[in-house]
Amino acid sequence: MLAFLGGTGPEGKGLALRLALAGENVVIGSRDAQRAGAAAEELAAIIQDSAGHGSIDGADNVDAAQRSDAAFLTVPYEAQRPMLEQLGAPLSGKVVVNVIAPMRFERGKGAIAVPVDAGSAAEEAQSLLPDSHVVAAFQNVSAEELQEPHHNMVGDVVICADDPDAKSLVMTLTQKIPDLRPVDGGGLLNAKYVEQITPLLVNINRIYKAHSGIRITGV
């Protein structure tokens, strides 16, 4: 069971949809169980239309974390710390995939990376969840395109983690989404470089009126 904590936003819904379509059982988490239930119902209808195999369900974040084998963090950065302070026990021993790119918008400047004392949102999550195995991934993948179930994704998912088994699990999950490719991005120390690609892509999207992503050439 994969949980998408704070999964009612576009990135969470998009990833949950794609992995449920690939046959994974999914639970959408939210502070508000009812909102999570509504998002799950919405996705379940798309999955049924597309003859997907995975189950999908909604719950509050604590319950979703408890039920999961691995959990994706798909809240805005500001919500990461308050959410994770409640989830140390239910996420203990589990793989936690941090999709968060700390970012804000400023008039005339566009998207700007928010500095993080720990280095990256992923490293901060690891310090808040010392008993979990944090993996940074999927920050650069277009939420809009994930939400279109028949759109083949183009691009790479750079995956950073200190725990090799956790990294390997997320590389396998990435390959279930056509045609995303996992790229080993080394340790969690590299997560900040990947997180900061997101504001760059957001600004490029505005220039080109596109949904951009990245590919690592030569590997």
Does 117 help bind a second copy (rule: CB under 8 A)? no
> Binding to a second copy (CB under 8 A): which residues in 63-102?
none
Among residues 8, 68, 174, 212, the one that binds a second copy under rule CB under 8 A = 212
Cβ atoms of 3 and 67 within 8 Å: the answer is yes
Q: Report, in Å, the least distance between residue 130 CB and a second copy.
A: 20
Identify which of residues 29 and 185 has a Cβ nearer to a second copy in the complex: 185
Tokens describing residue 172 = 């396998």
Residue (of 107, 163, 109, 108) closest to 136 by Cα position: 163
Does 142 help bind a second copy (rule: CB under 8 A)? yes
Does 163 help bind a second copy (rule: CB under 8 A)? no
57: number of Cβ within 10 Å: 21
Does 194 help bind a second copy (rule: CB under 8 A)? yes
**Edge-first strand listing for the sheet containing 70-73:** 56-60, 26-30, 2-5, 70-73, 95-98, 133-136, 156-161, 181-184
Among residues 46, 112, 114, 118, the one that binds a second copy under rule CB under 8 A = 112
SS3 state of residue 57: strand
SS3 state of residue 123: helix
Q: Report, in Å, the least distance between residue 165 CB and a second copy.
A: 17
Q: 184-217: string of b/e by CB count within 10 Å (b at 16+)?
A: ebbebebbbebbbbbbebbebbeeeeebbbbeee
Does 14 help bind a second copy (rule: CB under 8 A)? no
Residue (of 141, 149, 120) closest to 215 by Cα position: 141
Q: Report, in Å, the least distance between residue 107 CB and a second copy.
A: 13
Does 110 help bind a second copy (rule: CB under 8 A)? yes
Taking the C-alpha atoms of residue 143 and residue 140, their distance in angstroms, rounded to an integer, is 9
Does 130 help bind a second copy (rule: CB under 8 A)? no
Does 173 help bind a second copy (rule: CB under 8 A)? no
Tokens describing residue 35 = 């909102």
Identify which of residues 82 and 164 has a Cβ nearer to a second copy in the complex: 164
Terminal Cα distance for the chain, rounded: 31
Does 208 help bind a second copy (rule: CB under 8 A)? yes
Of 4-12, 83-91, 170-178, 196-204, the segment contacting a second copy by CB under 8 A is: 196-204
Residues forming the site for a second copy (CB under 8 A):
109-110, 112-113, 142, 154-155, 158, 183-187, 189-190, 192-194, 196-197, 199-201, 203-204, 206-208, 210-219
